[in-house]
Amino acid sequence: MGVKVDIKKWYNKAEIDGKKSTQKAFMLDINFEMENELVVLFGPSGSGKTTLFKCISGIMEPDNGIIAVGSNVYYDKNKKINLSIQKRNLGYVFQNDTLFPHMNVRKNIECGLKNWKKENRETRFMEVLDLLHIEELETRYPSQLSGGQKQRVALARALAPKPEILLLDEPFSALDTEIRTKLAKKIKTLQNKIRIPLLFITHNLEEAFLLASKILVLHGGKAQQFGTQEEIVYSPRNRHVAEIFGLSNIFDDAYVKERDEESKSTILESGSMQITVKYLNFRVRDEVCWGIHPENITIIPPESGFEDQNENLYLASIKSIINKGPKKRIVLKLVKHNKILNAEIPAQFVDSLKLHASDSCLVKLEMSKVVAFYCF
Amino acid sequence: MLDQIWFPLYFTFWIAIVSSLLVLCSGVIIAYIFARRDFRGKKLAEVLITLPLVLPPTVIGYLLILLMGKNGFIGHMIYNVLGTGIMFTWQAAVIAAYTVSLPLMVRTTQAAIEAVDKELEYAAYILGRSEIETALAITLPLAKRGILAGLVLSFARSIGEFGATLMLAGNIQGKTNTMSISIYNAFQSGNDELARVLVLILILMSLLAIALTGRFVGKIEA
């Protein structure tokens, strides 16, 4: 059973606020397919993540396209299908606490089981209590629960009617890191148990990497890239994706000089600098960007060799060293190419090499770690 | 004198209770629609419902007579069905009380419903509950205090109603004289003792209403 989403939606900011405003029309243009897996939706605020959820759940109607979960078509513009919220069999946990404050935990969970036969209802109720380890909360009211407990109950309530897809909109954003990580792990094991498609919105990179079997990156209402963690971090499709996932040291002055099928590599020229990267789907003379994560830069003492551009080995001078807890940020200047790189190196290593500002050193940019992509 | 107190007291309460029940049923529905639906002419409808709050009661009475009198649109229909008019009856007093107290109910309840987080309603829809089920199980229970406050205000307003009632139901001793009208009568005929007792009773009742409203409204804001 898979999920297919291919929707477009236009709207004016003015319509949302109910006020006249000159803000440009925002467009949602998202297209992806997923299996029974855990997909994380990642993107800055205002990128359309929650709007996408509202379209899938039926709270909002897209202007065009199709939304299907398994064999159920929720929305199809051409066939004029638009199921009501009630008829879409999905679970939704909102960012804010949406437990019904005047009902205890049992009543909250049973709200989704009203159409079930009485004997099945009780069994199912006990099952979800057990699944989320909230047996002892049965008679409590939401105001008597902690933040973490509330979100467990919200999850139990969403899962109780056996939904065919689960939508989680930053469910843990209000919780502190420790509980957050614990619950994120819980979600992962839960997904393995229930085996339904699960979409999870988060702002938190760590959470995204912990959870995702795939990541859908959104920016400005558009799906930028859909792929595994490895693909998104090391083969971002464009600069938006690269930056969202923490790539820095980005240079936009490069073009493809050569592609070598034998050694499966691509050679870029970036100003006076030459750099070898993975074999990528570029054409010769394409203008591209390249960058490298600060923690993937290796520093070598100068006495161990000379600059060798074919090996991505460059001579550099240390501009400054900044303490960042267990790591040190080292600002490097590539001497011959007039480029600045920020590296993050474990503090211990920096100390053992006795590195100081204005020292010179060699910088190695591992070919497999250098990220290259079309700028736009 | 007991007779002269008993009838208006009983009559006033009867009118206020019937009117408040009608206000409760219709006011909650109207408030829900105003709070949760968008339709053409919504602003106009809101203004029309609120108008009795600012119009002089005699003007309301006059308009109601135009509507409810034998030649009025509704009055004519009633006359055709029942064979008798409703002017100068207790029903007319209920209509007058209903008209002036409905806006209090609608405004208070609408504000209370608008304060209920829409996401709670969506959560219920997603769990398969229909809009009516959700309104009854989630929205209205959460707007309960606002509805109760509106009810107390409407009830108090019905008890104090004078102008519109006088015009629509008249001033018929033992038939349509409410407390307010009886005070006016007693004062006019120089029966100061009766007037004083009736005034005292109305003041006590109003204080009670304020105390109750204060409690409900205070809790909403808290």
Q: Which residues of A touch B220 (CB under 8 A)?
A: none
- A87 to chain B, closest Cα gap in Å: 7
B131, amino acid identity: E
Tokens linked to B24: 């409760």
Look at A100-114, B83-97, B126-140 and tell me which has the smallest mean pLDDT: B83-97
pLDDT of residue B33 exceeding 90, the answer is yes
- pLDDT at position A19 is 53
pLDDT of residue B142 exceeding 80, the answer is yes
Q: Are A257 and A268 in contact (CB under 8 A)?
A: yes
B125 touches chain A (CB under 8 A): yes
**In a shared domain, residues A226 and A268:** no
Q: Are A198 and A212 in contact (CB under 8 A)?
A: no
Higher pLDDT, A35 or B216: A35
A184, amino acid identity: A
**In a shared domain, residues A27 and A119:** yes
Enumerate the β-bridge partners of residue A92. A167
Mean pLDDT per segment of 10 residues, for chain A of length 376 residues?
89 56 73 94 90 95 94 94 95 93 96 92 94 93 94 95 95 87 90 92 88 91 92 89 87 89 87 87 88 91 81 91 90 91 90 85 90 85
B122 touches chain A (CB under 8 A): yes
Across the interface, whether the CB atoms of B123 and A92 are under 8 A apart is answered: yes
Q: List C-alpha distances in Å: B130 to A114, A221, B126, B135, B177.
A: 11, 31, 9, 9, 46
**In a shared domain, residues A228 and A294:** no
The C-alpha angle with vertex A63 and arms to A60 and A65, in degrees rounded to 5, equals 105
Cα(A167)–Cα(A351) distance, integer angstroms: 47
The residue-averaged pLDDT of B172-195 equals 92
CATH of the domain at A225: 3.40.50.300
**In a shared domain, residues A166 and A33:** yes
Average pLDDT, chain B: 91
Please identify, among A193, A224, A242, the residue that sits at the C-terminal boundary of a domain.
A242
Q: Which of A59, A94, A112 sits opposite B127 (nearest CB)?
A: A112
B73 touches chain A (CB under 8 A): no
Count Cβ–Cβ pairs < 8 Å, chain A vs chain B: 49
B216: confidence class by pLDDT, cuts 50, 70, 90: low
Nearest to B150 by CA among B189, B118, B110, B119: B110
Please identify, among A217, A242, A267, the residue that sits at the C-terminal boundary of a domain.
A242
Q: Which of B114, B127, B140 is the best residue to mutate to test the A interface, defined by the most A CB atoms within 10 Å of its own CB?
A: B127
Q: Are A269 and A255 in contact (CB under 8 A)?
A: yes
CATH of the domain at A363: 2.40.50.100
Q: Are A37 and B106 in contact (CB under 8 A)?
A: no
Across the interface, whether the CB atoms of B123 and A100 are under 8 A apart is answered: yes
Q: Which of B126, B128, B137 sits opposite A57 (nearest CB)?
A: B126
Q: What is the DSSP string of B82-123?
A: HSS--TTSHHHHHHHHHHHHHHHHHHHHHHHHHTS-HHHHHH
Instruction: Kindly list the structural domains of chain B, giving each domain's residue range(s) and its CATH number in brackets, ordered by start.
Output: 2-221 (1.10.3720.10)
Cα(A225)–Cα(A217) distance, integer angstroms: 5
- pLDDT at position B222 is 41
Nearest to A5 by CA among A44, A41, A47, A42: A41
Per-residue pLDDT tens for B37-69?
999 999 999 999 999 999 999 999 999 999 988
Could you tell me the residue range of the domain that residue A221 belongs to?
A: 3-242
Across the interface, whether the CB atoms of B126 and A102 are under 8 A apart is answered: no
Number of structural domains chain A divides into: 2
- A3 to chain B, closest Cα gap in Å: 18
Across the interface, whether the CB atoms of A100 and B138 are under 8 A apart is answered: yes
**Edge-to-edge strand ranges of the sheet holding A273-278:** A273-278, A265-270, A251-260, A287-291, A371-373
CA B195 to chain centroid, in Å, comes to 25
The C-alpha angle with vertex A99 and arms to A95 and A100, in degrees rounded to 5, equals 140
Across the interface, whether the CB atoms of B129 and A57 are under 8 A apart is answered: no
**Edge-to-edge strand ranges of the sheet holding A327-334:** A297-300, A360-365, A313-324, A327-334, A339-346
Report ipTM for this prediction.
Answer: 0.84
A260, amino acid identity: D
**In a shared domain, residues A110 and A163:** yes
- pLDDT at position A304 is 75
Tokens linked to A271: 């100003």
Q: Which of A102, A157, A161 sits opposite B141 (nearest CB)?
A: A102
B123 touches chain A (CB under 8 A): yes
**In a shared domain, residues A256 and A220:** no
**In a shared domain, residues A146 and A288:** no
- A260 to chain B, closest Cα gap in Å: 54
Q: Phi/psi of residue A24, each to 5°?
A: -65, 155
